[in-house]
Chains A and B, each alone.
Chain A
Amino acid sequence: MDRFACLYVPDLPLATALRNEPELRHRALAIVDGPTIVAGWLQGLTVAQAEAVRSDLVVRALSLEGIHSAQEALIDVAISVTPRVEESETGTIFLDLAGTGAIFPSERGLLGALEKRLAEVGLEGVRMGIGPTCTVAWLAARWQHGGQIVSSHGTRGFLDPLPLDLLDPPEETFDLLTRWGIRTLGELRRIPASSLGSRLGEPTVWLARRARGQDLRPFQPKSPKLRFEEGVQIGFPVGDLERLAFFLRGVVDRLTRRLRLRGLAVRELLLELLLESGQNFARTVKTGAPTTEAPVLVSLLRLALEKDPPPEGVERIRVVAVPGGVEPSQLDLFLPPLPAPAELAVAVARLEALCGPGKVGAPSVEDSHRPEAKGLNSFAAGPRVLPKSAAFSGPTMALRAVRPPEQIRAYGAEGPPVKIEFSDHRRFQVLQHAGPWRLFGEWWGESCFARDYFDVELGDGGVYRIYRNLDNGRWFLDGIYD
């Protein structure tokens, strides 16, 4: 026995505006496209006319970006219940409920779960219905305030009293049928389809089939896509980074809520800004590890914008998330437990937001002839293997790197230095030294280097590693032994 559910948003532009600004829920909100109100309160009037009627009217511009995002969020909610989802038209989604009984024993429970998830992604006023066909589910969602569950044997009883205009018939057909005295679906159903077809043509036959609760075409599920984007049309240019961050916070928050529904996290963010001159400004931000913490992601975006701010005011924001799953880990009987991968990912992302990109990671030794070469890998606490025998050893010498190398002056003939002068003009006698040993490499490119290295103990009590550039004779301090 087939069962279908329908999610229906009666006024998607209004739902989008409320999704972006939930605090307007109890206000008289009108959505305008140019001078005319197209959704919300007082549709069809101009803004001036509407404000004459209601002085407390709140007006927001129609945001196609936002509508697209809201539609995607609606699909995300549907896919969180079942992978068999069909996007019929903007604001209407059908779900094939086959197999969902194992997770949701009752259809009422399923509707409750959907309502909760819709609230999580910020969608309010969505009507829902369940029926044996998509058409019945759609009518169940549209009738009154929705929430109807129509069983197979109760379909006729549900459909018959419904008004004819609920099917959205063509205006001419509706007028004609009304003049004939046909005002409900039940009255239309009683007329034989052949009679309707011969008098009013094929579209009316389709209308009659829908009045019987039949679908005109088979259910066509859509494969779930893994591209997540959220946007907002600001309506006026915003140049201040603080105000831009305010809008970013809302966009990223909605995006992360959608990802959480699918059990995913953000691995990378692509920020696209439309500037007031019509140019696009794009930045990519990578997270240290997949995360769904909106404050962390906003901090990362903000850091990226502070580093390279947009040259003009921003009129539209779009954020695209590249999703990534949090890696599972296997516990070990003989090793101490590690932090949960998700918690570790959040901590690394927070640190990256605090310290900036390229400042957090696992150190690595680069395959290079340069002693100062260093690398940074992304940090992930993967599977650990302890050494077979814990070989404890005494402490080995450490070098504290000086980055960038400090230019110094060395006194002495061509041989080892006898006195060193630091950049702050402090001079010290060389008490002991070792070296030189010569290092050269990368002779095939412009980064070619040739150096003579020395280890020196100075009169200030420090032991240093210094080198002389052979090409220009300059001396540098590049490390302190400690």
Chain B
Amino acid sequence: MQSRPALPPGTRSPRAIIRETGLEGRVHLGLESRIVAPGELGAPEQSPRTPDRLGLDTLLGLEGKATAGTLIELAGERSSGRTALAYRMAAGATARGELVAWLDLPDALDPRFLRRSGVDLNALLWVRPPGLRATLRAAEILVRAGFAMVAIDLCGIGTSTLAKLPNSAWTRLLHSLRGARATAVLLSGPDRIAGTAATLGIYTERSQAIFERDLLEGLELYASVVRNRAGPIGEAHPLRVLQRPVPVDLS
């Protein structure tokens, strides 16, 4: 079991935050210590931006170079927004003129939503492998072929299937990624599967679904850094995943 990280200075009590934001009963208790109040995010003492620092900016696809040679794992329960975050990273990569591959073991990719997320479909290779081992083999082929980002979707794959993978599988993939300066984004859930091989591990939790005027407007979620080789863990970010894209202020 993973030990609970120490709270960064200036972070308020998780219980107080949950009480203030009305998330009681909706937030996973095991992740309490990784949640910070929305207004406090981005404070200099919490997220110093250094070139080799990985963090939640990666999720917005803003730091392409920083993620080269890394394995990023996005884990979470269903409807927690992990696929939306991976789509956003793919959109960022294609906007930079890079090639993206999407390994889709559960055959769950929807081209309409992918395009709506801003992904250039001509720069994305969709691969539907027949099994888990074929997925990893395909990932190595793609990394060696020069794809800048390889998304590996293993959401909903049974634990008995995943248990058949050797422990070294993810370490081997990470080694290939480092050699090729590529990024792999592993979508998993509900549990993390890459373990210590992941350079950056992010756990997403849905706080609520936004229904307004008889329409599903989006999802509110918390994304927490639960594993980070190049920086501290515990950073958390409240995010809204909406039906319509909302511009991000880069300043």
Q: Does chain A bind chain B?
A: yes
A384 within 8 A of B: yes
Name the interface residues of A367-414: CB closer than 8 Å to any CB of B. 371, 374-376, 379, 381-382, 384, 386-387, 390-403
Out of A340, A375, A481, name the residue touching B79 (CB < 8 Å). Answer: A481
Q: Are the C-beta atoms of A395 and B85 separated by less than 8 Å?
A: yes
Q: Which residue of B lies closest to A465 (CB)?
A: B216
Assembly CA distance A97 to B110 (angstroms) = 58
Whether B145 and A396, one on each chain, are in contact in the complex, defined by CB atoms closer than 8 angstroms, is no
Interface string of B143-162 (1 = CB under 8 A from A): 01111100000010000000
Cα–Cα distance between A158 and B142 once the two chains are bound (Å): 60
Say whether B117 contacts A395, CB under 8 Å. Answer: yes
Whether A361 contacts B83 in the complex (CB less than 8 A), given A381-B99, A463-B209, comes out as no
Residues from chain B with Cβ under 8 Å of A391 in the complex:
118, 247
**Number of A-B residue pairs having CB atoms within 8 Å of each other in the complex:** 207
Tell me whether A395 and B241 are in contact in the complex, defined as CB-CB below 8 angstroms, given that A365-B115, A401-B108, A463-B219 are known contacts: yes
Decide: A363 and B216 in contact? CB cutoff 8 A: no
B59 and chain A: residue at smallest CB distance: A395
Question: Which B residues lie within 8 Å of A461 (CB)?
Answer: 77-79, 206
- Overall SS of chain B's interface: mixed
Tell me whether A401 and B109 are in contact (CB under 8 A).
Answer: yes
Contact A396 B129 (CB under 8 A): no
Evaluate contact between B242 and A397: CB separation under 8 angstroms: yes
Q: How far is the CB of B25 from chain A (nearest CB, A)?
A: 11
* A198 part of interface (Cβ distance < 8 Å): no
Q: Which of A59-67, A130-138, A349-357 contacts B (4 or more CB under 8 A)?
A: A349-357
* Chain A residues within 8 Å of B86, by CB: 398
- Measured CB to CB, the nearest residue on chain A to B187 is A482
The answer to whether B109 touches A396 (Cβ under 8 A) is: no
B210 shortest CB reach to chain A, Å: 9
Interface 0/1 of B201-239, CB less than 8 Å to A: 000001001010011101100000000000000000001
CA distance in complex: A355, B240 (Å): 36
Task: Assess the A382–B95 pair: CB atoms within 8 A.
Answer: no
Q: Which residues of A contact B96 (CB under 8 A)?
A: 336, 386
Whether the pair A365, B111 counts as a contact (CB closer than 8 A) is: yes
Chain A CB within 8 A of B19 CB: no
| Given A355-B130, A384-B97, A396-B117: A339 and B146 interface contact (C-beta under 8 Å) | yes
The verdict on B122 contacting chain A, using a C-beta distance below 8 Å, is: yes
- The answer for the CA separation of A461 and B129 in the assembled complex, in Å, is 29
* Assembled-state Cα–Cα distance A350/B141 (Å): 8
CA of A209 to CA of B146, assembled, Å: 63
Interface presence of A238 (CB below 8 A): no
Distance to closest chain A CB from B230 (angstroms): 22
Q: Could you tell me which residues of chain B, from 49 to 99, have a CB within 8 Å of some CB in chain A?
A: 59-62, 77-88, 92, 95-99
B60: nearest chain-A partner, CB-CB: A392
> Nearest chain-A residue to B65 (Cβ)?
A336
Q: Are A361 and B141 in contact (CB under 8 A)?
A: no
> Does A338 make an interface contact (CB < 8 A)?
yes
B121 partner residues in chain A, CB cutoff 8 A: 362-365
Q: Tell whether A434 is near chain B: CB-to-CB under 8 Å.
A: yes
* Inter-chain contact B97/A393, CB cutoff 8 Å: no
**B107 contacts partner chain A, Cβ-Cβ < 8 Å:** yes
Q: Is there contact, CB below 8 Å, between A392 and B79? A: no
Q: What is the minimal beta-carbon distance from A290 to any residue of chain B, in angstroms?
A: 15
**Closest A residue to B126 using CB positions:** A363
Residue pair B211, A390 in contact (C-beta under 8 Å): no
- For B61, the chain A residues whose CB sits under 8 A away are 392
Question: Does A78 touch B at the CB level, under 8 Å?
Answer: no
If the complex has contacts A402-B108, A434-B215, are A482 and B84 also in contact, measured as CB distance less than 8 A? yes
Nearest-Cβ distance from residue A71 to partner chain B, whole angstroms:
37
How far, in whole Å, are A207 and B239 apart by their CA atoms in the complex?
A: 93
Which of A338, A375, A432, A433 sits near B146, CB closer than 8 Å? A338
The answer to whether B141 and A393 touch across the interface, beta carbons within 8 angstroms, is: no
Cβ-defined contact, B111 with A363, below 8 A? yes
Say yes or no for B39: interface residue by CB 8 A criterion: no
**Residues of the B chain whose Cβ atoms lie less than 8 Å from the Cβ of A335:** 97
Does B112 sit at the interface, judged by CB under 8 A? yes
Interface size class of A (residues with CB under 8 A): 35 or more
Q: Who on chain A is nearest to B62 by CB?
A: A392
Q: How far is the CA of A338 from the CA of B147 in the complex (A)?
A: 8
Are A374 and B110 CB-contacts (below 8 A) given A347-B142, A463-B216? yes
CB-based contact A432/B209 at 8 Å? yes
Instruction: Name the B residues within 8 Å of A99 (CB-CB).
Output: none
Q: Is B125 an interface residue (CB 8 A)?
A: yes
| Distance in Å: Cβ of A465 to nearest Cβ of chain B | 9
> Does residue A479 face the partner (Cβ distance < 8 Å to B)?
yes
A398 touches B127 (CB 8 A): no
Q: Which of B122, B126, B137, B242 contacts A396 (CB 8 A)?
A: B242
Most chain-B Cβ atoms within 10 A of its Cβ — which of A343, A397, A434? A397
Q: Is B12's beta carbon under 8 Å from chain A?
A: no
Q: Are B128 and A392 in contact (CB under 8 A)?
A: no
Check if B248 is an interface residue, CB within 8 A of chain A: yes
Task: Please tell me if B243 contacts chain A, counting CB pairs below 8 Å.
Answer: yes
Assembly CA distance A376 to B127 (angstroms): 10
Q: Is A348 an interface residue (CB 8 A)?
A: yes
Contacting residues, chain B, for A387 (C-beta < 8 A):
95
The yes or no answer to A42 lying at the interface (CB within 8 A) is: no
Q: How far is the CA of A340 from the CA of B219 in the complex (A)?
A: 40
Tell whether B124 is near chain A: CB-to-CB under 8 Å. Answer: yes
Which residues of B sit under 8 angstroms from A397, Cβ to Cβ? 84, 113, 216, 218-219, 241-243
Tell me the complex Cα distance, A258–B248, Å. Answer: 55
- Let me know if A73 is at the binding interface, CB within 8 A: no
B123 proximal to A (CB < 8 A) = yes
A354 in contact with B79 given A403-B107, A479-B110 (CB within 8 Å): no
Using CB atoms, name the residue of chain B closest to A355. Answer: B129
* A455 contacts B by Cβ under 8 Å: yes
Q: Is A463 in contact with B246, judged by CB distance below 8 angstroms?
A: no
Please tell me which one of the listed residues A343, A374, A382, A479 contacts residue B122 in the complex, with CB atoms under 8 A apart. A382
Contact of A394 among B60, B78, B142, B211 (CB under 8 A): B60
B30 at interface, CB cutoff 8 A: no
Q: How far is the CB of B111 from chain A (nearest CB, A)?
A: 4
9 residue pairs from A and B, CB less than 8 Å apart? A338-B146, A339-B145, A344-B145, A351-B142, A354-B138, A362-B121, A387-B95, A396-B116, A455-B211
Given A351-B138, A396-B245, 8 additional A-B pairs, CB 8 A: A362-B121, A363-B114, A386-B95, A393-B245, A398-B87, A402-B108, A463-B206, A482-B82
